[in-house]
Amino acid sequence: MTTATVNFSETDDGLFTPEEIRQLMRLEYDRARRYRYPASLLLVAVDRLESLQDLYGWESKEEILQAVIKALRATTRDSDFLGCMHDGRILTVFPHTDEKAITSIATRLLGICRALDFRTDGRALRATVSIGAAILVEDSELEFEHFVEIAEEAVTFALASGGDRFVRREAADDVIDRLRDEIDAEADRLVQDRIRIQEAAERETSAPEIASPLTPPILGTRPHSGDAADSELAKAIAAVFRDGSADPFALEADILAIAEEHVRREREAAVSAALAEHGKQVDLLERRVRKLKGLLDETGAELSRIATLKGLDSGIASIYRTVQGLSPDEDRLQEKREMLTLIFEANLDLQKKKRRS
Amino acid sequence: MTDEENKDHGVLYLGIDLGTSRTSVSASNGVRETVASYVGYPKDVVAQKLLKRDVLFGADAVKHRLSLNFYRPLQHGVLKASSKEDDYEGNLRAARDLIAEAIRMAQPRKDELVYAVIGAPAQAQINNKEAIIDAARETVDSVMLCSEPFAVAYGLDWLDDVLVIDIGAGTVDLCRMHGTMPEDTDQITLTTAGDFVDEEFGKLVAAAHPEAQFTVQMIRGIKERFASVADEMERAVAELPVKGKPTEFDLTDPLREACRKIVPPIVEGLGELVSTFDPEFQSRLKNRVLLAGGGSMIKGLDNAIQQEMHRTLGEGKVVRIEEPIYGGANGALKIAHDMPEEYWEQLK
């Protein structure tokens, strides 16, 4: 069975083709239902895979996928089925695996993937995965296709929620609530950070002139290379000694003036550098807030979608199981029937006119 | 409905009263809901983000109307979309969405057949009817239209020698029932309805208090709260802004006067229907007058019409139905229930 190895990369991964894996899984699924043993299905997707490919090329994407497949192999048994779906999602069926066991497997897989180390163009990349699970419960009447849909829904939700997480379909509500709280908290925290940094920057910009220019700058270390400035300072002092007045008081005044000018420049440069740094931080935080906002919007849309899906089978049942019609015991049965026939005929006529037009 | 074959868990009947100011639905699952016939779409992305919805209905739409492309898709009891004037496409879309919302409010289940009867204005044009059917067919399995006043009478089982007065916002429909389906000659549609009262009330307020600032919505709100034709009525005291400052006005007299203006045309119409009826049954007809529709909630209106009938027609007895808001929808629901299965099947 390991000879069927067609994959998205066309390399020999030992994965089943989508058709084969579906066929095998359907058989396994039917068997599990028939003999009433637990089975679970995992759908694993690498977070932001398309973006990774756009940014770092096809090779990087492929490298990451292979590493994830390897990690998945390390966490599965020989009796488990691994296959790939289109768009790089990996589908796995775990016979005799209940909710507790599948949670453990998924958690382990998440940890392994987090620890994976990729380097592209000298930069370290962090690749994470989103995992959706569907768990076959006893007496389930779900068809296999529906079972896969549940896992797809879970992994889509995990991806939309920011990735790097495991979502069981049954626990979707809790996850939604928790994610919403987490995103809200993170957004609040970032907003607070931004306010704090902006306030600090404003304080520094509006800080009163320091009484003496000799007072050291309040911000950090010297921002630019001290060598050139020091050398310039030394030359200036040397020139004063060489060409300046013989009067020691005048000499002192000249040197102080030079030092004063030097410190002033240093201080201005330090303040500018600190402001630039703060500006960068603010930009970064703003980007993060925007990103989280986008995520929040996506999550909101997903919530609406799930709510809509949930609503599919809800609604209030009618009191009638079958079409009714006039009761034979109805008062003035014939009169009413004629009236209803006239209404029907008028509507039929309307429908015909509409079709003709 | 694509999964019709899976609909084997029941039949949901809907009766819908599609009105100019209010759309009501009664369903065989016990749901009865009503929504003001207003539809709004966010004007731009900012409004959409703020409102968090693509479309708003009823009171919600009225509340946020400044941020919305605001529609009242029915006018004078018919779809505005019937005329090429105004925003044809916009009104048509709003009407479709309103009907879909009415059906959604009934909370139908996916696994049930949904059969709907919609009470359409008595003299709606054919293109109006087609537009209503098109809108409904998107969400139900089969749909029929019937005349609104007929639905009211059918729902109450008053089918013989009855005059129905259905007062809506756009029209007053008068219908003569005589044991068969009413024909065109049995129905009269007047435009002196709720909107007419609003307009007259506005004119009277503007004449009496030229300094007061108001909109039609404000005038309508005051009318809905205090409307009465009685000599002794609750004082209609309301706040209207004067140069930006909320100021209290007593609008009792203008309101009463505006409300009373609908009585003479109604009685005139009733007189026409009575005078063209079999003389032997005219007296019975005059003494079986049903008052329905949202406009019938004007306090004392039944007595005022009755008195005017006595004055001009010599006699009359007017009965206000118990549920003016749901009278049309309940009747439409009963028609849907009684309709034979083969008729529904043929209209699918």
Determine which helix (DSSP H) or strand (DSSP E) holds A243, and give its type and residue range. Answer: helix A226-243
Angle of helix B148-155 versus helix B327-338 axis, rounded to 10: 80
| pLDDT more than 70, % of chain B | 92
The Cβ-side half-sphere exposure at B261, using a 13 Å CA radius, reads 18
Give A321's pLDDT tier (boundaries 50, 70, 90).
low
Closest CA to A46 of A28, A30, A26, A63: A63
Taking the CA atoms of B247, B253, B258 and B262 in sequence, report the sign of the dihedral they define.
positive
What pLDDT, on a 0 to 100 scale, did the predictor assign at position B203?
A: 95
Beta-bridge partner residues of B25: B16, B33
* Res A1 pLDDT > 80: no
A259-268, A320-329, B148-157: range with lowest mean pLDDT: A320-329
- Which of A167-181, A207-221, A241-255, B20-34 has the highest average model confidence (pLDDT)? B20-34
Q: Is residue A85's pLDDT more than 70?
A: no
Contact (Cβ atoms closer than 8 angstroms) between residue B58 and residue B209 = no
| Residue A103 pLDDT exceeds 70 | yes
Please compute, for residue B26, the number of CA atoms within 13 A of its CA located in the half-sphere on the CB side. Answer: 22
Is B129–A335 a contact, with Cβ atoms under 8 angstroms apart?
Answer: no
Residue given tokens 């679970």 in the structure block: A40
Superfamily holding A18-160:
Reverse transcriptase/Diguanylate cyclase domain (3.30.70.270)
pLDDT-derived band of residue B272, with 50, 70 and 90 as boundaries?
very high
pLDDT, position B7: 56
Q: Which band of pLDDT confidence, cut at 50, 70 and 90, is reported for residue A140?
A: low
pLDDT at A14: 57
The per-residue pLDDT of chain B, averaged, comes to: 87
Rg (CA), chain B: 21
- Residue with more model confidence, A184 or A208: A184
Q: How much is the average pLDDT of A160-170?
A: 76
What does the alpha-carbon distance between residue A256 and residue A214 come to, in Å, rounded to a whole number? 9
Nearest CA in chain B to A317: B29
pLDDT confidence of residue B96: 85
For residue B4, pLDDT over 60 is answered with no
Q: What is the pLDDT of residue B305?
A: 96
pLDDT value for B125:
63
Query: How far, in Å, are A241, A325, B205 from residue B236 at the CA level?
Result: 98, 48, 12
Instruction: Look at residue B266 and tell me whether its pLDDT is greater than 90.
Output: yes
pLDDT digit string (tens) for B326-341? 999 999 999 999 999 8
Query: Is the Cβ of A332 closer than 8 Å to some Cβ of chain B?
Result: yes
Check whether A311 has a pLDDT greater than 50.
Answer: no
Chain segment A59-73, per-residue pLDDT in tens:
777 788 888 888 888
At A320, is the pLDDT very low, low, confident or very high (cuts 50, 70, 90)? confident
Q: Do B30 and A339 touch (CB under 8 A)?
A: no
Tell me how far CA of residue A106 lies from CA of A42, A43, A137, B134, in angstroms.
8, 10, 18, 49
Mean pLDDT, to the nearest integer, of A200-206?
Answer: 69
Give the minimum alpha-carbon distance from A78 to chain B in angstroms, rounded to a whole number.
40
Q: Angle, to 10 degrees, between the axis of helix B126-137 and the axis of helix B88-105?
A: 50
List, in order of start, the domains of chain B with CATH numbers. 4-37+76-153+327-346 (3.30.420.40), 38-71 (no CATH), 158-192+262-320 (3.30.420.40), 194-260 (3.30.420.40)
For residue A225, is pLDDT > 80? no
Reduced to 3 states (helix: H, G, I; strand: E, B; else coil), residue A326 is coil
Please name the residue that has the structure tokens 């240093």: A266
Q: What are phi and psi of A12, to 5 degrees?
A: -85, 90
Residue B302 is predicted with a pLDDT of: 94
If 0-12 CB within 10 Å is exposed, 13-18 middle and 19+ buried, where does residue A86 land?
exposed
Q: Alpha-carbon torsion B58, B62, B68, B74, what sign? A: positive
- Reported confidence tier of residue B316, pLDDT bands at 50, 70, 90: very high
Cα-based distances in Å from B201 to A88, A301, B21, B39, B245: 68, 45, 17, 25, 22
CB pair distance less than 8 Å for B11 and A322:
yes
Give the pLDDT confidence score for residue A268 in this predicted structure: 87
Q: Do A339 and B159 touch (CB under 8 A)?
A: yes
Element holding A129 (H helix, E strand): strand A129-136
Residue of A335, A337, A343 lying closest to B159 (CB–CB): A335
Largest CA distance in chain B: 66
What average pLDDT does this structure show over A24-48? 82
Higher pLDDT, A234 or B176: B176
A92-110 mean pLDDT: 85
Are the C-beta atoms of residues A22 and A78 closer than 8 Å to each other?
no
pLDDT digits (tens, 9 = 90+) for B88-142: 778 888 888 998 899 889 888 777 889 999 987 666 666 677 878 887 888 888 9
* d(C-alpha B181, C-alpha B92), whole Å: 29
Distance CA(B158)–CA(B227), nearest Å, equals 28
Q: Tell me which residue of A275, A295, A272 sits closest to A190, measured CA to CA.
A: A295
Nearest to A319 among B28, B159, B335 (CB): B28
Average pLDDT of the segment spanning B175-185:
85
Tokens for A86?
């289109």
Edge-to-edge strand order for the sheet containing B32-36? B32-36, B22-27, B11-18, B113-120, B142-147
Per-residue 3-state assignment (H helix, E strand, C coil) for B62-122:
HHCHHHEEEECCEECCEEHHHCCCCCHHHHHHHHHHHHHHHHHHCCCCCCCEEEEEEEECC
Q: Is A334 on the interface with B (CB under 8 A)?
A: no
Give strand pairing partners of A131: A44, A166
Q: Give chain B positions within 8 Å (CB) of A351.
A: 133, 347
Q: What digits encode the pLDDT tens for the residues B6-36?
A: 555 678 899 999 888 889 999 988 888 999 9
Q: Which among A300, A340, A354 has CB closest to B130?
A: A354
pLDDT of residue B267: 96
Q: How many Å lie between the alpha carbon of B137 and the closest alpha carbon of chain A?
A: 12
Q: Which residues of B203-215 are buried (b: 16+ CB within 10 A; e: fewer)?
A: ebbeeebeebebe
The chain A residue lying nearest B144, using CA atoms, is A347
pLDDT for residue A262: 85
Convert chain B into a string of H (helix), E (strand) and C (coil). CCCHHHCCCCEEEEEEEECCCEEEEEECCCCEEEEECCEEEECCHHHHHHHCCCCEEHHHHHHCHHHEEEECCEECCEEHHHCCCCCHHHHHHHHHHHHHHHHHHCCCCCCCEEEEEEEECCCCCHHHHHHHHHHHHCCCCEEEEEEHHHHHHHHCCCCCCEEEEEECCCCEEEEEECCCCCCHHHEEEECCCHHHHHHHHHHHHHHHCCCCCCCHHHHHHHHHHHCECCCCCCCCEEEEEECCEEEEEECHHHHHHHHHCCHHHHHHHHHHHHHCCCHHHHHHHHCCEEEECHHHHCECHHHHHHHHHHHHHCCCCEEECCCCCCHHHHHHHHHHHHCCHHHHHHCC
| A91, two tokens | 């589908």
pLDDT at residue number B118: 92
Confidence label for B213 from pLDDT (cuts 50, 70 and 90) = very high
What are the structure tokens assigned to A57, written together?
Answer: 């090329």
ipTM confidence: 0.84
- Mean pLDDT, chain A, whole residue set: 74
Contact B347 A340 (CB under 8 A): no
* Beta carbons of A316 and B109 less than 8 Å apart: yes
Q: Beta partners for B165?
A: B174, B291
- What's the rounded mean pLDDT across residues A277-303? 80
What pLDDT does residue A243 have?
78
Q: What is the pLDDT of residue B247?
A: 93
Distance CA(A314)–CA(B110), nearest Å, equals 8
Q: Do residue A315 and residue B108 have CB atoms under 8 angstroms apart?
A: yes
Q: How close is the nearest chain B Cα to the Cα of A179, in Å?
A: 19
Comparing A18-22, A192-196, B279-283, which segment has the lowest mean pLDDT?
A18-22
- SS3 state of residue A152: helix
All residues of chain A having their beta carbon less than 8 Å from the beta carbon of residue B109 are 313-318
- Residue A197, φ and ψ in degrees, nearest 5: -70, -40
State the average pLDDT over residues B278-288.
91
